[in-house]
């Protein structure tokens, strides 16, 4: 299966990190912030967690189902902390389909470090690929409902413990918004449904800055069947960090691609109408 054609609002298209989104920039400092990354044990989620650790976050917590991945992921994050850094690294095992588990994980984190300033919703469920006509309808609906349920559980746990200027960065997928890509109908429908969930969450909680993100084409457990990748995982890692900064406040309620050039985004100051028409 070939990858979809990219959509870009900027003349410059990135596949690797670049200086403007580097965690060493003082403007991107995460000092004093408690960051939670779901699905943070590996792949994009771990790259995001590492970027926040490099930027000096007060704490970086990762939540996921696999204890082994969480252990390795936490070691990666710990290794990214600067020599004089004091970032606290926490890992919590939880299945996002089980509300009691995610509630307990989030409460455990808050008890250790305080309210959550940045919540990265990155835990994903990959539905089996295949054309829609012969697809088993029960399997199709089960996969879609899993995606919806995981988002419900995550945000019902997060909202009561959100900090006063909380930021939510949601890992979406362009397949929810672009011309259909044959062979992944269940995944696309699931992502479209969860994107609409996020839009309602943002509309009903205007005090939270929500950004939905196409995270690039990065090797992960979820896209191994696609075979082709183009981007370094450090690109979404550092771009997410930039999105949580004051420089990106104007992107509240927008949908962006990590490949877009942050400098050009600032220059263009996309309107909501532009964002809705083109992604």
Distances (CA, A) of 135 to 145, 147, 176, 230: 16, 18, 19, 29
The H or E element that residue 170 is part of is strand 162-171
> Could you count the other beta carbons within 10 Å of the beta carbon of residue 4?
16
DSSP one-letter string for 173-225: -GGGTSS--TT-HHHHHHHHHHHHHHHHHHHH-TTSEEEEEE--S---TTTGG
Task: Kindly state the tokens that stand for 203.
Answer: 């509309």
Enzyme catalytic residues = 172-173, 187, 191
């Amino acid at each position: 299966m070939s990858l979809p054609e990219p959509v870009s609002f900027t003349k410059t298209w990135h596949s690797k990190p670049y200086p403007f989104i580097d965690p060493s920039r003082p403007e991107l400092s995460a000092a004093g912030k408690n960051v939670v990354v779901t699905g943070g044990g590996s792949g994009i989620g771990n790259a995001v967690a590492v970027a926040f650790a490099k930027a000096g976050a007060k704490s970086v917590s990762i939540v996921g189902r696999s204890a082994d991945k969480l252990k390795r992921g936490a070691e990666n994050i710990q290794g990214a902390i600067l020599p004089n850094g004091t970032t606290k690294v926490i890992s919590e095992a939880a299945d996002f389909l089980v509300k009691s588990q995610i509630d307990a994980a989030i409460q455990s984190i808050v008890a250790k470090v305080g309210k959550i300033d940045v919540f990265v919703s990155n835990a994903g469920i990959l539905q089996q690929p295949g054309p829609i006509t012969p697809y088993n309808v029960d399997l199709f609906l089960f996969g879609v409902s899993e995606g919806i349920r995981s988002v419900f559980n995550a945000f019902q746990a997060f909202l009561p413990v959100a900090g006063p200027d909380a930021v939510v960065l949601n890992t979406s997928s362009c397949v929810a918004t672009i011309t259909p890509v044959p062979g992944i109908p269940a995944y696309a429908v699931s992502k479209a449904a969860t994107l609409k969930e996020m839009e309602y969450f943002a509309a009903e909680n205007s005090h939270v800055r929500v950004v939905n993100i196409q995270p690039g084409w990065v090797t992960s457990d979820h896209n191994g069947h696609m075979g082709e990748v183009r981007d370094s995982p450090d690109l979404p890692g550092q771009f997410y960090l930039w999105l949580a900064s004051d420089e990106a406040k104007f992107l509240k309620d927008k949908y962006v691609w990590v490949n877009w050039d942050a400098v050009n985004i600032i220059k263009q100051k996309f309107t909501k109408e532009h964002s809705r028409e083109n992604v």
